[in-house]
């Protein structure tokens, strides 16, 4: 079944992690073992472009990601907005290189989205991965007007914060609200018709955005606080707000977001893929229908199989979701909505003709 994945950090993997995503997942693992790469996330990758084909992920969202950090001795991040801009551009040009090589296809308009899905249905094996460009963390946006350049380059969704506070406001693991520069940025995002990703907003910033932004909203890789009770997940009230705005929430497969009390590098995997399906079901129950839940795996978003459900080896295992939903009584049409239909509808409404 066609699967739309609303959060894939392919640029991070291809550029920052220096992986050849044209290789099979198993080949990348062997390569990293051979080179004695032992950092967390190495040897345990789950995503590559051939694996996306096996997973029947024919279309989705690919990110550019660069986060500014104040300290210079940090393992992740860059010290200036200019460096963030340059790194995010490198992710974009990685995608352009993959397009040139026939592995990826940029989707910027509604017409292109419809044509790509038709192409995939006619020839899944021969159709490149179709991607809609998103930015995770607004630090690469040099100033509020710079978002216009990013739009011309194909950006169609953006989350303005990430972890901690940045130039535009508070992100995960802080209680900082919006910064002054966020207000003109939000106005420009709304004017351009870019979808605002509410993932990674602090609770305070979330409700400020809710009051100040009138455009389309989504939550690309977002789970429920009911199952992992800390700020990275949304409360039921936050989930209901996204639903009320016509948004879709993509359930993620990071154990940090699924298993209560998870501690990076210490906890053992106890949850299974069914815990992610529980999150999908929870969103559907809150909505009273199946129109607002999707998949935003975040697989290989800086971690590997050491930090995913215990029964997940590669991204291809996401094709177990239909069976697990069917066991919960979901009908085929509703399963198809979760797997791809909801995101296709959402982005068909966001993308220009």
Per-residue pLDDT of 101-140, as tens digits, reads: 999 999 999 999 999 999 999 999 999 999 999 999 999 9
> Is the pLDDT score of 75 beyond 80?
no
Give how far the C-alpha of residue 289 lies from the chain's centroid of Cα atoms, to the nearest Å: 23
Q: How many domains does the chain have?
A: 1
Give pTM, 2 decimals: 0.98
Instruction: Return the structure tokens found at 145.
Output: 């007007």
Q: What is the CATH number of the domain that holds 297?
A: 3.20.20.140
Where in the sequence is the domain holding 254, given as residue range(s)? 4-350
Give the whole-angstrom CA distance, residue 223 versus residue 276.
8
Per-residue pLDDT of 282-318, as tens digits, reads: 999 999 999 999 999 999 999 999 999 999 999 999 9
Give the whole-angstrom CA distance, residue 139 versus residue 134.
13
> Is the pLDDT score of 74 beyond 80?
no
pLDDT band at 70 (very low <50, low <70, confident <90, very high): confident
Q: What mean pLDDT, rounded, does the chain reach?
A: 97
pLDDT recorded at residue 71: 80
Q: Residue 21: in which H helix or E strand, if any?
A: none
Q: Rounded to the nearest 5°, which phi and psi values hold at 170?
A: -90, 135
Per-residue pLDDT of 167-182, as tens digits, reads: 999 999 999 999 999 9
């Amino acid at each position: 079944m066609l699967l739309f994945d609303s959060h894939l950090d392919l640029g991070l993997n291809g550029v920052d992690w220096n992986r050849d995503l044209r290789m099979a997942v198993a080949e990348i693992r062997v390569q990293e073992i051979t080179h004695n790469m032992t950092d967390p996330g190495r040897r345990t990758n789950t995503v590559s472009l051939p694996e996306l084909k096996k997973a029947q992920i024919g279309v989705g969202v690919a990110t550019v990601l660069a986060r500014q950090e104040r300290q210079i001795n940090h393992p992740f991040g860059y010290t200036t907005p200019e460096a963030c801009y340059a790194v995010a551009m490198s992710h974009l040009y990685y995608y352009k290189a993959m397009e040139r090589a026939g592995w990826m296809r940029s989707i910027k308009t509604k017409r292109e989205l419809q044509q790509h899905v038709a192409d995939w249905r006619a020839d899944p094996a021969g159709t490149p991965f179709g991607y809609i460009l998103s930015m995770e963390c607004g630090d690469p946006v040099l100033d509020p007007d710079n978002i216009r350049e990013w739009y011309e380059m194909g950006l169609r969704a953006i989350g303005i914060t990430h972890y901690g506070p940045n130039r535009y406001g508070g992100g995960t693991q802080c209680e900082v609200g919006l910064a002054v520069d966020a207000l003109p940025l939000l106005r420009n995002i709304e004017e351009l018709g870019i979808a605002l990703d509410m993932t990674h907003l602090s609770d305070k910033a979330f409700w400020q955005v809710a009051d100040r932004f009138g455009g389309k909203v989504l939550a690309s890789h977002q789970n429920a606080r009911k199952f992992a009770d800390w700020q990275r997940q949304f409360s039921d009230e936050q989930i209901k707000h996204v639903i009320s705005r016509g948004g879709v929430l993509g359930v993620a497969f990071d154990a940090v977001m699924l298993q209560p009390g998870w501690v990076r590098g210490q906890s053992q995997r106890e949850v299974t893929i069914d815990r992610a399906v529980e999150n999908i079901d929870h969103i559907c129950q809150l909505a009273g229908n199946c129109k607002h839940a999707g998949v935003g795996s975040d697989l290989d978003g800086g971690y590997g199989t050491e930090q995913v459900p215990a029964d997940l080896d590669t991204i291809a295992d996401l094709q177990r979701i239909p069976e697990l939903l069917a066991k919960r009584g979901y009908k085929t049409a509703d399963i198809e909505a979760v797997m791809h239909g909801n995101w296709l509808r959402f982005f068909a409404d966001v993308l220009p003709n």
